Structure formats: C-alpha cells, structure tokens
Amino acid sequence: MSIIIKTQAQIDLMRISCKLAAEVLDYIEPYVKPGITTLELDKLCHNYIVNVQSAYPSPLNYQPNPKGPAYPNSICTSVNAEICHGIPNDKPLKNGDIVNLDITVYKNGFHGDTSRTYLVGDKVTPQAKRLVQVTYECMWLGIKQVKPGNFLGDIGHAIQTHAEKNAYSVVQEFCGHGIGEGFHEDPQVLHYGKAKTGPQLQSGMIFTIEPMINQGKRTVRFSSNGWTALTKDRSLSAQFEHTILVTPDGYEVLTISPNMPAIPDFMK
C-alpha cells in the first residue's frame, strides 16, 4: 500500500476541489423533489460544475476497469435500495423516496468527493428517516477517530459498532479511499473491522469516509449495467461521504458546506 502524504500546496488545491464538490450538493438540494428525474438532476449538476465552477465532473467517462463500461454520467444517483453507483435515468422520484447524490469535482489537477442522502417530499417514513440519520451519525463517528497515531481500523470499528447497535448492517464490498490527483488512491478505508488494526494515520493523508448502511442484510446484488450495487433483500440503503484531511492534531473536513445537515451534537 502506497499512501501519498500531501504537501501543503497539494492540500491547498484539494481544499478548492472539495469546497466545489460540497457546493454542488447545496446547489442541487432545492431541486430534489417528487417528480424530478435523476437524469434532470444529473444535467443540472453537470451544467453547474462545467459552466459555473469551470471544473470537470470526475465520474463522467470514468473507467476503472478497462474491460468494463465507462460511467456514463456526471453524478451518481442511488435511490432507495440502490447502495451506490446508481446511474441517472428518466424515472421521476416519488414522494417518500430517499436518494443519495454522489459528487466528485476535478479542478486544478485534484479531485474533491462528497455525497449526501436526501429525503424526497414529505412522506418519507419514520423508519427511512431513522436509517438516514443513523448513517449520518456513523460517518461522523468515523471522522471522530481521525488523528495521527490512530488506525484506519478505528474508523471502521466506530462505524460498524454504531450501525449494528441500531440493528442495521454495513456494506463491506465498497469502502472509502484516498483521493488527490487520483480519483481513487490508497488507502482503502473500510467501514467495518477491528480497532487498532490497519495502517496508522499520519498528518497529510487525505481520504474519504463514506459508509453505506442497509436497513436489512448487508448482502449486495449488482445491476446488469455494470455499475449499480443494490441490496439483495431490496431493503433501503443510505450513504453519506466527506473528504477528510489528517492534521497534526486531528482532522479537517474538506467538504463542509453551509447547507449540509447539522453536525451531530456528539462532535461538538
């Protein structure tokens, strides 16, 4: 595993890319309503990234597997039982859906990555709202473990403990990742596991924490489109993601934005 420790100049550029990605999530929020299609949301985000931010949407034409299909859109839109990498389509969102929008922006040679799960309309069930809230808490409990000297396993252990305490399961097929000049870099940041295991955190590391939490079992099935992962039991899945810098005395969340959900009280 070759983890890149970022220089101050690289960190400064990462701050820009990450701020832009978070800005897209704030921009698109008013449009996430019943009746809009995820394809329309994708177009709005694409135009904002390209025309307003003068940046590039990292997912567009991304092809990590040369034998697999390139990703065809600018954002990932995962609805209800879709865990991640949902491809935008022309099916309108319904009142009561939940949808994760995953945004990665490329600017000045660096990527910034963040995602948020939105409640669609005013008929989202209490059970779905609780899943979304606990998933958000899981991400922040993982972030809370970030400081030099701690281990990657501490992040996963904190997330898994909170999810399972609330009778949810953690998807294990996908994880957080290092990020910088590469869309996906080392290390892999698991959202489950044992404390005090894995690589030790060092100042200058930058990676995402992005737990995917299922209402039912953790098992995954894959769409024929070559990208989208779904819950095998068709239960709901939620996800949140921030890009995190390890600082000399703790962490800095690079994808903070004014209109993001309130930071949980246990972080204050």
Q: Class of 8-267 per CATH?
A: alpha beta
pLDDT digits (tens, 9 = 90+) for 126-162: 999 999 999 999 999 999 999 999 999 999 999 999 9
Strands, sheet with 82-84, edge to edge from the N-terminal-most edge strand = 82-84, 229-231, 220-222
> Token digits for 101?
């929008």
Residue 36 has what pLDDT? 98
User: Could you give the CA distance from residue 58 to residue 241 in angstroms, rounded to a whole number?
Assistant: 16
| Mean pLDDT of the 222-235 span | 97
CA dihedral (12, 16, 17, 23) in degrees, to 10, reads 150
* pLDDT single digits (tens) 236-262: 999 999 999 999 999 999 999 999 999
The pLDDT of residue 268: 85
Q: What confidence tier does 1 reach under pLDDT thresholds 50, 70, 90?
A: low
| Sequence-distant (≥ 6) Cβ neighbours of residue 118 within 8 angstroms | 29, 32, 98, 99, 100, 101
Mean per-residue pLDDT, 77-99: 98
Which among 225, 212, 244, 220 has a CA at the least distance from the CA of 98?
A: 212
Quick: pLDDT tens for 56-83: 999 999 999 999 999 999 999 999 999 9
**Average pLDDT score over residue span 183-211:** 98
Q: What is the DSSP letter of 195?
A: T
Q: Model-level pTM?
A: 0.97
Whole-angstrom Cα distance, residue 94 to residue 214?
20
Rounded to an integer, the average pLDDT of 194-209 is 98
Q: Are 136 and 264 in contact (CB under 8 A)?
A: yes
Report pLDDT for 238. Answer: 99
Q: Give percent of the chain with pLDDT exceeding 70.
A: 100
The residue ranges of every structural domain in the chain are 8-267
